[in-house]
């Protein structure tokens, strides 16, 4: 077992430190407060070659894996610049197209996406099917070799700044399948197509990326838009959902570390009752406990990424990493907030504004309860109640 990063991985991890020289947490916060997508930052990441981290070199990427993508996310989040768009685009959609896309996706879309010329979002959630994605109703009705897509997806991050969306649909309705996991198909939908509409969901969290409801009304799709096998989409779904859990583990670990580093600076300087508050164990121990939680979550995240890259089953570690990192992120930001006293609530420190994002990640994309159910049922063999 080797915990050491190689030179390339260390550089990827440290990229966030150099990026933060020009696009720091203040820059991220300004965009988060105004819900404005940070196009310049995204383009810089594209220019530096990081959008295509998980895309093979033949298709314009760096030919690396989940480990490097997680290191990228942890490194930028360590600096307070956590981008959800990197989750839904480069990690969830572009890597999926690299593994399961058509020639058109690989040769036309991926090189453009690696350059930052086009962007992707990801859509599975529907108003009537969030946690229970088996119940999605968005239907791509097949006519010959073409499909007509109708349905509604909601909370879709970054749909407004995306050109394409990786959509999880049914090609056989829920009621007509023998097994509930049958009948799914994944499509790449060009969001400029006739029949696509969108409306903003006003999410009250400081985030640069906005959420949208997407409406599909008889959108015409062809065989070139199918990702993977028709009706057998479930078999490849976790090649995008496990990476999502892993990269969010990295994001939460990084944001937690960022908050703790700000708290350490503050608690070392701020003197109350004659000495720095960090010397009081009532302040120090919650920070130390959160630090231990963050580092444990980060380790599990790296294990999950390593398993994914090796083609090993990564569900167990990915669920544990996502669960542990979201809880650790909340704990860290809360401890940092308490250590800052009133200053933590000012726009100047921006600590409080990290909290909603960490709290969101307990609930979405896969909520705490479903992670625990996965561990209880699939890992520990306990019976299922739902």
Ligand X SMILES: Cc1cc2nc3c(=O)[nH]c(=O)nc-3n(C[C@H](O)[C@H](O)[C@H](O)COP(=O)(O)OP(=O)(O)OC[C@H]3O[C@@H](n4cnc5c(N)ncnc54)[C@H](O)[C@@H]3O)c2cc1C
Per CB under 6 A, residues contacting ligand X are 88, 122-125, 130-131, 155-157, 203, 211, 360, 363-365, 367, 369, 373, 386
Minimum CB–partner distance for residue 159 and ligand X (Å) = 8
Beta bridge partners of residue 108, listed in sequence order: none
Let me know if 269 is exposed, middle or buried by CB neighbors in 10 A (0-12, 13-18, 19+).
Answer: exposed
Q: What is the C-alpha to C-alpha distance for residues 207 and 211, in angstroms, rounded to an integer? A: 10
Q: Degrees (nearest 5) of the Cα angle 51, 52, 58?
A: 160
In the complex, residue closest to ligand X by CB? 130
The contacts of residue 312 (CB under 8 Å, 6+ apart) are none
Comparing C-alpha atoms, which of 1, 62, 35 is closest to residue 353? Answer: 35
- Residue closer to ligand X, measured from CB, 151 or 365: 365
Minimum CB–partner distance for residue 341 and ligand X (Å) = 29
Length of the chain: 386
Minimum CB–partner distance for residue 237 and ligand X (Å) = 12
Rg (CA), the chain: 21
The contacts of residue 338 (CB under 8 Å, 6+ apart) are 283, 286, 344
- Residue closer to ligand X, measured from CB, 216 or 266: 216
- Residue closer to ligand X, measured from CB, 95 or 349: 95
Q: What is the DSSP string of 38-73?
A: -HHHHHHHHHTT-TTTTS-GGGTS----HHHHHHHH
Q: Residue 191 is encoded by which pair of tokens?
A: 């969001």
- Residue closer to ligand X, measured from CB, 182 or 369: 369
Minimum CB–partner distance for residue 69 and ligand X (Å) = 17
Minimum CB–partner distance for residue 383 and ligand X (Å) = 13
- Residue closer to ligand X, measured from CB, 193 or 359: 359
Residue ranges of the alpha helices (H) in 34-180? Answer: 39-47, 66-78, 84-86, 95-100, 103-104, 110-115
Minimum CB–partner distance for residue 285 and ligand X (Å) = 29
- Residue closer to ligand X, measured from CB, 84 or 317: 84
- Residue closer to ligand X, measured from CB, 209 or 334: 209
Q: Residue 193 is encoded by which pair of tokens?
A: 């197509």
Minimum CB–partner distance for residue 357 and ligand X (Å) = 9
For residue 198, report the phi and psi dihedrals to the nearest 5 degrees.
Answer: -150, 155
Minimum CB–partner distance for residue 281 and ligand X (Å) = 34
The owner of tokens 């933060």 is 20
Q: What is the C-alpha to C-alpha distance for residues 88 and 122, in angstroms, rounded to an integer? A: 6
User: Do residues 169 and 149 make contact, with C-beta atoms less than 8 angstroms apart?
Assistant: yes
For residue 337, report the phi and psi dihedrals to the nearest 5 degrees.
Answer: -65, -45
Task: Report helix, strand and coil shares of the chain as percent, to nearest 5.
Answer: 55, 15, 30
Q: Residue 22 is encoded by which pair of tokens?
A: 């020009």
Count of other CB atoms within 10 angstroms of residue 364: 15
Minimum CB–partner distance for residue 263 and ligand X (Å) = 25
- Residue closer to ligand X, measured from CB, 273 or 386: 386
Minimum CB–partner distance for residue 57 and ligand X (Å) = 28
- Residue closer to ligand X, measured from CB, 89 or 228: 89
- Residue closer to ligand X, measured from CB, 158 or 256: 158
């Amino acid at each position: 077992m080797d915990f050491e990063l190689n030179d390339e991985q260390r550089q990827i991890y440290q990229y966030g430190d150099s990026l933060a020289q020009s696009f720091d947490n203040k820059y991220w916060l300004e965009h988060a407060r105004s819900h404005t997508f940070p196009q310049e930052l995204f383009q810089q990441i594209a220019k530096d070659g990081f959008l295509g981290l998980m895309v093979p070199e033949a298709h314009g990427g760096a030919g690396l894996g989940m480990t490097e993508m997680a290191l990228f996310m942890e490194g930028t989040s360590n600096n307070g610049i956590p981008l959800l768009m990197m989750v839904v685009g480069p990690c969830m959609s572009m890597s999926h197209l690299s593994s399961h896309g058509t020639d058109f996706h690989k040769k036309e879309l991926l090189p453009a996406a690696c350059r930052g010329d086009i962007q992707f979002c990801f859509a599975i959630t529907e108003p009537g099917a969030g946690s229970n994605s088996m119940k999605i109703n968005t239907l791509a009705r097949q006519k010959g070799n073409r499909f007509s897509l109708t349905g509604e997806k909601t909370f879709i991050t970054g749909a407004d700044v995306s050109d394409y969306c990786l959509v999880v649909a049914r090609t056989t309705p829920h009621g007509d399948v023998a097994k509930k996991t049958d009948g799914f198909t994944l499509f790449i939908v060009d969001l400029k197509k006739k029949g696509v509409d969108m409306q903003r969901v006003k999410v009250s969290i400081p985030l640069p990326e906005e959420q949208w409801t997407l409406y599909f009304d008889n959108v015409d799709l062809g065989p070139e838009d199918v990702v993977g096998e028709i009706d057998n989409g479930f078999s490849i779904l976790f090649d995008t959902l496990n990476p999502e859990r892993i990269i969010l583990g990295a994001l939460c670990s990084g944001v937690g570390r960022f908050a703790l580093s700000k708290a350490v600076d503050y608690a070392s300087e701020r003197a109350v009752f004659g000495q720095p508050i960090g010397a009081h164990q009532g302040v120090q121990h919650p920070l130390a406990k959160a630090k231990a939680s963050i580092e444990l979550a980060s380790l599990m995240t790296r294990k999950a990424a390593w398993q994914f890259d090796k083609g090993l089953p990564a569900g167990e570690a990915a669920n544990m990493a996502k669960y542990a990192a979201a809880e650790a992120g909340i704990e860290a930001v809360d401890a940092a907030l308490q250590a800052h006293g009133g200053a933590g609530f000012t726009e100047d420190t921006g600590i409080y504004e990290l909290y909603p994002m960490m709290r969101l990640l307990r609930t979405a994309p896969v909520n705490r309860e479903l992670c625990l159910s996965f561990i209880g049922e699939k890992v520990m063999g306990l019976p299922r109640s739902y």
